[in-house]
């Protein structure tokens, strides 16, 4: 990897407690039970006051998004990150041999890769790939595709663009399992530049050493735990069920069985054999003890965990026996930027770099989960000391904050007061 650029939206798209409440109140389908649920979710989400929403949601058009809204949302991410990527790397758009774009919830014609090729007037023999429906783990799927292409195309340059279309997929109904996505997902994305040209080794930030993909879609519960559907009233959205944690654990364990022998030293593999035997037993605890008896830090130095939500981060941390120092980059990314889907991993990596944690020779364990259900993990070797503040530049001195407590509790906690349940929502001034 020669470079990566994360997207940061403009300040007029920030959503804090006040603006979040205004957006929620526009949904006239909600009642007291739904407001209580949203309050509890917002408070426990781990998301802070400076995340970003799509323009059409900020402007109150979430119920009737247009195709133009969706394409403009993509253009903002694509062209901001790619302009910076080309400028900083010194590589021109016409030198790109492979282009992979992953956006799960938008697949227009012409394709999104065609949109980029047209904008930058890329060469006619470029190999272009569009990945849709891959969910939050799509970045590593795209990188694996690049890795396979590099076996055929020598001394090539490749770009991966990872983002998500949220504006057109904002849920306007009242199904609690589908309301979760509005609370967790936020605008963001990243563009990355790769090469297999050895002449550029001295300029590389990272080298990919291992990548393992696991697809658990054959399991019905796993397949349905994270799925795009319509509710009983016909409102489309994204359903996240209580089975998601279990599916993530099962896919994670399957993935680690393949990945850990590739990254752990010999003396740890003996311990691994013992743990593997325990995993094979029936009724083993979900997401507990996966890393028990293993010294993962004998094989990796940093843990780049998908910031999918507090439960995801807590679960991975507990399963691998990680410290709060290890989990800090994922927690702070969730707090500052929210769950930006497939782009989220790169904000976590950016936090590590901005904090000057990444030194030459270090190994970064990247962990991702996504709809399907998929678990895709990889390990990067740091090629030189890194200290670019990147997308964190304007707020690095504020992190980590003294507390991650959401102010929504203090201001709107009274919603949970049963003595006020006789009130009607329309009779209350939330300002």
Catalytic residue (one of 339, 376, 390, 406)? 339
What pTM does this model have? 0.92
pLDDT in tens, the chain (431 residues): 999 999 999 999 999 877 887 888 888 888 878 887 887 787 778 899 999 999 999 999 999 999 999 999 999 999 999 999 999 999 999 999 999 999 999 999 999 999 999 999 999 999 999 999 999 999 999 999 999 999 999 999 999 999 999 999 999 999 999 998 888 899 999 999 999 999 999 999 999 999 999 999 999 999 999 999 999 999 999 999 989 988 998 999 899 989 988 998 887 777 667 666 665 554 444 444 455 557 788 899 999 999 998 988 998 998 888 999 999 999 999 999 999 999 999 999 999 999 999 999 999 999 999 999 999 999 999 999 999 999 999 999 999 998 887 776 666 666 656 555 555 555 555 55
Ramachandran assignment for 315, one of left (phi > 0), alpha (psi -120 to 50 degrees), beta (any other) = alpha
Task: Specify whether the CB–CB gap between 216 and 222 falls below 8 A.
Answer: yes
- Choice among 27, 335, 390, 406 that is catalytic: 335
Number of residues in the chain: 431
Residue 393 DSSP symbol: T
Cβ–Cβ under 8 Å, residues 320 and 302: no
Q: Measured between alpha carbons, how far is 408 from 404 in angstroms, rounded to an integer?
A: 12
Among candidates 374, 29, 315, which has minimal Cα distance to 171? 29
The catalytically annotated residue of 53, 56, 190, 215 is 215
Q: From 227, 224, 276, select the one nearest 255 (Cα to Cα).
A: 276
**Is 306 an active-site residue?**
yes
For 361, the token pair is 């020779």
Residue 74, phi-psi category: left (phi > 0), alpha (psi -120 to 50), beta (remainder) = alpha
Specify whether 215 is catalytic.
Answer: yes
Is 335 an annotated catalytic residue?
yes
DSSP string, 115-178: HHHHHHT--TT-EEEEE-S-GGGHHHHHHHHHHHHHTTSSS-EEEEEEE---GGG---S--HHH
pLDDT of 404 reads 82
The H or E element containing residue 302 is strand 302-305
202 is catalytic: no
Given the residues 21, 53, 136, 225, the one annotated as active site? 136
**6 an active-site residue?**
no
């Amino acid at each position: 990897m020669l470079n990566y650029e994360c997207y940061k939206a403009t300040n007029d798209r920030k959503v804090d407690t006040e603006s979040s409440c205004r957006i929620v109140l526009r949904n006239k389908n909600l009642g007291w039970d739904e407001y209580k649920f949203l309050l509890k979710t917002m408070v426990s989400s781990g998301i802070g006051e400076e995340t970003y929403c799509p323009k059409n949601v900020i402007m109150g058009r979430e119920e009737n998004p247009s195709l133009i809204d969706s394409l403009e949302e993509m253009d903002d991410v694509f062209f901001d990150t790619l302009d910076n990527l080309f400028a900083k790397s010194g590589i021109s758009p016409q030198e790109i041999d492979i282009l992979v774009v992953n956006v799960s919830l938008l697949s227009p014609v012409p394709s999104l890769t065609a949109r980029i090729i047209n904008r930058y007037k890329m060469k006619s023999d470029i190999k272009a790939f569009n990945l849709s429906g891959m969910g939050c783990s799509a970045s590593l799927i795209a990188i694996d595709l690049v890795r396979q292409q590099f076996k055929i195309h020598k001394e090539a340059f490749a770009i991966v663009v990872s983002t998500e279309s949220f504006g057109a997929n904002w849920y306007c109904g009242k199904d609690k399992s589908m309301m979760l996505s509005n609370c967790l997902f936020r605008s963001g994305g990243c563009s990355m530049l790769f090469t297999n040209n050895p002449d550029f080794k001295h300029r590389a930030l990272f080298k990919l050493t291992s990548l393992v993909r696991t697809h658990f879609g054959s399991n019905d519960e796993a397949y349905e735990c994270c799925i795009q559907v319509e509710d009983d009233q016909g409102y489309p959205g994204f359903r996240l069920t209580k089975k998601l944690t279990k599916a993530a654990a099962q896919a994670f364990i399957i993935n680690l069985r393949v990945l850990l022998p590739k990254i752990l030293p010999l003396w740890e593999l003996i311990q691994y054999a013992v743990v593997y035997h325990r995993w094979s037993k029936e009724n083993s605890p979900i997401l507990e003890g996966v890393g028990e008896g293993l010294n993962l830090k004998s094989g990796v130095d940093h843990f780049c965990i998908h910031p999918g939500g507090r439960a995801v981060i807590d679960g991975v941390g507990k399963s691998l026996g990680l410290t709060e120092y290890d989990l800090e980059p994922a927690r702070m990314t969730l707090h500052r930027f929210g769950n930006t889907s497939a782009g989220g991993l790169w904000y976590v990596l950016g936090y590590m770099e901005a904090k000057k944690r990444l030194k030459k020779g270090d190994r970064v364990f990247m962990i991702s989960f996504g709809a399907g259900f998929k678990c895709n993990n990889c390990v990067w070797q740091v090629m030189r000391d890194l200290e670019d503040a990147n997308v964190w530049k304007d707020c690095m001195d504020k992190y980590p904050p003294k507390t991650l407590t959401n102010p929504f509790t203090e201001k709107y906690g009274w919603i949970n007061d049963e003595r006020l349940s006789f009130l009607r929502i329309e009779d209350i001034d939330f300002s």
